[in-house]
């Protein structure tokens, strides 16, 4: 991992780069002892605009849950101190504090036991960050789910719900990761998005990530968008930015 923030230490406060309405202030507690996975989950949630706290063992998780009253808990099962089942049993999840279990223990017995103990959702490892975020969002932003989210410019149409990009009415043929990167940018017009944030949004959690991988994805995205790629701007030393529409007008008016 190239990201210096990936060491899994406790992280508080909402994602700096996100101003998605209704999400700021929604608190998610992550209880995960694997630093690489914890770091990826924390970054992904912060990038999506949630306030995130991290506990690296079951006892710390329980204490934080009692102290911070999170809106949702993302819980691993194999944990030091108390394991995830013990945390579930003591936490007694409620509708106000639902628990999403994310674990490598994928046997039916373990799954059923999670639900018996009150978990509302279950995601087996390895998982896609997009899917984890979609599940968190489905719990915390039910209204946002129903609003159609389409971004259009020039002859490009990005449907954020159908996960579809068309150019001139034809499918642009973006891969899953390319779509994740493009979607992350178009949801934040005018904001410089760091490469590590884009990687957290697009990669399988816990995998090695490199800035150059993001760069080559962006090269391919630009190629597929053709002349409409002008809105994907490079921010030197940081990452990329989805340009605001105003620039279109400025450029049209410039010599
Ligand atoms: Ca674990």
Question: 155: domain CATH number?
Answer: 1.10.10.10
Residue 36 belongs to a domain: yes
Q: How far apart are the first and last CA of the chain?
A: 45
Q: Are residues 94 and 116 in the same domain?
A: yes
Q: In what order do the strands lie in the sheet with 192-194?
A: 192-194, 239-242, 232-235
CA of 82 to the centre of ligand 1 (A): 11
Task: Identify the pLDDT of residue 106.
Answer: 86
Tens of pLDDT, residues 160-173: 878 899 999 999 99
Does 42 share its domain with 120? yes
CA of 85 from ligand 1 middle (Å) equals 12
pLDDT of 170: 96
Between the CA of 33 and the centroid of ligand 1 the distance, in Å, is 5
| Residue 129 Cα to ligand 1 middle (Å) | 17
CA of 10 from ligand 1 middle (Å) equals 16
List the single range of 65-74, 100-109, 125-134, 201-210 with lowest mean pLDDT. Answer: 201-210
How many Å lie between the centroid of ligand 1 and the Cα of residue 14? 24
**d(CA 81, ligand 1 centre) in Å:** 11
| E-assigned strand segments in 84-208 | 99-103, 121-124, 150-153, 156-159, 164-167, 170-171, 192-194
Find the mean pLDDT for residues 33-58.
94
**How far does the centroid of ligand 1 lie from the alpha carbon of residue 143, in Å?**
32
- Token digits for 38? 């914890």
pLDDT band of residue 79 (cuts 50, 70, 90) is very high
Q: Which helix (H) or strand (E) holds 51?
A: strand 51-55
Mean pLDDT of 183-197: 88
Ligand 1: centre distance to CA 131 (Å): 19
- Structurally, how many domains does the chain consist of? 2
Mean residue pLDDT across the chain: 82
Hey, how many other C-beta atoms are within 10 angstroms of the C-beta on 231? 21
103: domain CATH number? 3.40.50.2300
Q: How far is the CA of 35 from the centre of ligand 1 (A)?
A: 9
State in Å: Cα 78 to ligand 1 middle.
Answer: 4
Asked if residue 47 belongs to a domain, the reply is yes
Q: Examine the pLDDT at 102 and tell me if it is beyond 60.
A: yes
Expressed as residue numbers, the domain containing 53 is 27-140
Q: Mean pLDDT throughout 15-31?
A: 61
């Amino acid at each position: 991992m190239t990201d210096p923030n990936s060491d899994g230490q406790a992280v508080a406060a909402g994602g700096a780069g996100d101003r998605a309405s209704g999400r700021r202030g929604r608190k998610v507690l992550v209880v995960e002892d694997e630093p690489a996975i914890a770091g990826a989950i924390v970054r992904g949630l912060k990038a999506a605009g949630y306030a995130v706290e991290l506990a690296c063992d079951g006892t710390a998780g329980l204490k934080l849950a009692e102290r911070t009253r999170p809106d949702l808990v993302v819980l691993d099962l194999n944990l030091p101190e108390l394991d995830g089942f013990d945390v579930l049993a003591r936490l007694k999840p409620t509708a106000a504090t639902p628990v999403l279990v994310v674990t490598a223990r994928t046997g039916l017995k373990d799954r059923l036991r999670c639900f018996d103990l009150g978990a509302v959702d279950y995601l087996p490892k390895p998982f896609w960050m997009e899917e984890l975020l979609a599940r968190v969002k489905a719990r915390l932003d039910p209204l946002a789910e129903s609003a159609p989210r389409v971004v259009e410019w020039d002859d490009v149409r990005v449907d954020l719900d159908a996960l579809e990009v068309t150019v001139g009415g034809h499918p642009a043929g973006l891969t899953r990761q390319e779509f994740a990167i493009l979607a992350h940018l178009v949801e934040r017009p005018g904001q410089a998005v760091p490469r590590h944030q884009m990687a957290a949004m697009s990669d399988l959690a816990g995998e090695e990530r490199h800035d150059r991988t993001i760069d080559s994805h962006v090269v391919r995205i630009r190629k597929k968008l053709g002349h409409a790629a002008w809105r994907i701007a490079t921010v030197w030393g940081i990452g990329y930015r989805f340009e605001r529409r105003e620039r279109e007008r400025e450029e049209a008016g410039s010599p």
